[in-house]
């Protein structure tokens, strides 16, 4: 439903997005991750027709966003929840969106119900809203026309734990009913919980992409013994590298090879198993360490 191919954006001599390619298929949630300034927002702005690309293409539902007939009716977008006019009520903001896209105004109550905003809250001025309420109003606007695709930038920002749980269920249900979700968020645990696929961007380029299962899966073997050094020496002789960790000895060799090395070394094994998978946070930090502001500082 979303297809981004060789997408590039340059501002003078600065390349903000560099040859980015990925897809978001029907029935899936794709987590779009990267440090601040990595190019995520620029990609999403190019996808939704707000910023022209220097080269490459970004298609949604088979076309450029701007070429879709009434794109707001088919693609729900929330890039900045704080962009609502502060003097309007929540209901007025949604009414204006409905009039702009030609959506039946009966959908306003449906959208408010989906995001958990009450009639009293919808009657309040947006300037009085908390950050979490603005997020809910922004999501209501994205869902107003019952779209096929959602493009969301930090939708959980400002939500309390119950709100985050609610949003996770909403996005999962949307995808399970055949929709496609492109989700940018810094809440890595929530992304890991809801996303089917992950795209990680750093310095404008993709540094990792694939299914969640593939990217966080473990590899190699963990062994704990009475003499890890002896096993490491046997593995090294057989052409396998091994490194020490807090849990024990880690190697890319399979468990059977490690077991034979321990036998040949005459060492009693206390634990031998495939290495645990890494969490999304560990993956993210490892892939983007060179882009972190703390490292740059």
Segments of the chain scoring below 50 in pLDDT: 293-297
Strands 2-11 and 14-24: antiparallel
- Rounded CA-CA distance 162/22 in Å is 32
Q: What is the CATH number of domain 2-215?
A: 3.40.50.300
Provide the whole-model pTM: 0.79
> Beta partners for 251?
221, 242
- Rounded CA-CA distance 225/267 in Å is 7
Tokens 């890890």 belong to: 228
Domain ranges within the chain, ordered by starting residue: 2-215, 218-274
For 11-30, the DSSP string reads ETTEEEEEEEEEEE-TTEEE
| Short-list 142, 139, 137, CA closest to 124 | 137
pLDDT of residue 295: 45
pLDDT of residue 268: 95
pLDDT of residue 296: 44
pLDDT of residue 280: 82
**Cβ atoms within 10 Å of 89's Cβ, excluding its own:** 18
pLDDT of residue 18: 96
90-101 vs 131-143: helix axis angle to the nearest 10? 20
């Amino acid at each position: 439903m979303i297809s981004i191919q060789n997408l590039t954006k340059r501002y003078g001599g600065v390349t903000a997005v560099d040859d980015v390619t990925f897809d978001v298929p029907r029935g899936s949630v794709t987590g779009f991750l990267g440090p601040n300034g990595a190019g995520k927002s620029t990609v999403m702005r190019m996808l939704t027709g707000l910023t022209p690309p220097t080269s490459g293409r970004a298609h949604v539902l088979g076309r450029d966003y701007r070429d879709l007939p009434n794109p707001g009716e088919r693609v729900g977008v929330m890039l900045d929840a704080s962009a609502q006019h502060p003097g309007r009520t929540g209901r007025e903001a949604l009414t204006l969106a409905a009039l702009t896209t030609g959506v039946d105004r009966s959908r306003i109550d449906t959208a408010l119900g989906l995001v958990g905003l009450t009639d009293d809250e919808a009657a309040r001025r947006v300037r009085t809203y908390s950050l979490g309420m603005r997020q809910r109003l922004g999501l209501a606007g994205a869902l107003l026309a019952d779209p096929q695709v959602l493009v969301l930038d930090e939708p959980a920002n400002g939500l309390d734990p119950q709100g985050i749980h609610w949003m996770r269920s909403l996005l999962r249900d949307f995808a399970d009913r055949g929709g496609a979700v492109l989700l940018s968020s810094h809440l890595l645990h929530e992304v890991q919980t809801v996303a089917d696929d992950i795209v990680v961007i750093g310095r404008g380029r993709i540094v990792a992409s694939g299914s969640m299962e593939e990217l966080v899966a473990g590899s190699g073997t963990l062994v704990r013994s009475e003499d890890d050094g002896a096993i490491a020496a046997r593995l090294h002789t057989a052409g396998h590298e091994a490194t020490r960790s807090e849990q024990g000895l880690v190697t890319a060799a399979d468990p059977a090879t490690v077991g034979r090395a321990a036998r040949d070394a005459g060492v009693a094994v206390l634990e031998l198993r495939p290495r645990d998978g890494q969490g999304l946070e560990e993956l993210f930090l490892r892939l983007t360490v060179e882009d972190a502001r703390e490292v740059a500082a």
